[in-house]
Structure 1
């Protein structure tokens, strides 16, 4: 791993994905709107250059994955056994995804489409519930303090007061919301309040944190209701859960 990561503690439950942009601006310190260009960006060796920089610049910074301008995905660390130094307090139990920005901090539509596909695959692979921050409210105490009760997909800006709005900006979360990711006010604990009654109906501990036992219970629930057994509470699963008034 070099200076940009370390081994994960054995048996770590990976509970969240953290989205980053390589420049973190605009929409941050310079307050300009985030610029999204049509199509895909140019094919560059951004991943190689970024990885070399992380490995030798002395800042102890890194990420697991990088989505380049043209939608290419590069993997820099083992997602299961290695953690990267991408978001301090939550490193041990998250996967970090960098989105490469152009020289003027621009992103491309096709690149963001690739990010959505990547996040879809990762949430399915790691049983991470598809939930996102509903709005940007600055860094959240729950995440600064370790984020062990926060499940889903959030931005570096939600974890650190040192990053601006553009890390990663609003557009990627808008796109995730468009494909069904459930928005919550993580700062107020709205996610945990929503999950407690769901967990009671599923017959698991109602701590409001949708972990592996909750995902397994969702699979059984989906099987009983002839839904795809994903373990993720998609809109169809939630709709049936809301109609159920007895524990399953």
Structure 2
């Protein structure tokens, strides 16, 4: 099968391909205009659980006080209802690494699916506390997206596979990703190619977990602002983004996007501020 061109930009076709797959689809009001900016190239799907069996699509669309929505593009309820909540970038991935993703940049390359599920525990057997309707809807949704992007199920990963090391994430809990991918591939069918995906050269090591962007707050933002020579209020707002873009423009090899990822942090020689220890 001929490979297709990498999809660049927002997945405006989400509702159409999901409906064609046969899922019970709901379109959350305003989804076509919701997102934290535009996607770069879309490389696959990332699966999550919400941490609660009762998390609503509204909570994913609107976010929470410490993290504005959207928190994923799709929400899957326990009864199998799939709600498309956003077409633009969503804050679902955070920092992490995966071989065919730029370090810490998955939000701009992966469609996120949040399933209303507690996850049970990191060691729970496959599909424990996952109703058949919810699991089947997850398989169908991933298959529809992978197929639309001319991908195999290898391009569906779990948040734990990307952010387990960096963030200690274990979602989706009670889901064996290898089994899930096999079920997705069975749904996709044979003969599907995988669109070519570039793997940009990004630094790893000291700056592998750095990801600062508009809306970020805290001591690391203060340090960034000090090194950029601007007001150090600890809030990554328009002034900070403009200063980052200016630094990127005058530094060879950096993409001018206003985001401080590993490459920009390394070029800036950003002094890292230790994260406070959290009790889980």
TM-score by length of 1: 0.48
Structure with a larger share of its residues in strand: 1
Higher RCO, 1 vs 2 (CA within 8 Å, ≥6 residues apart): 1
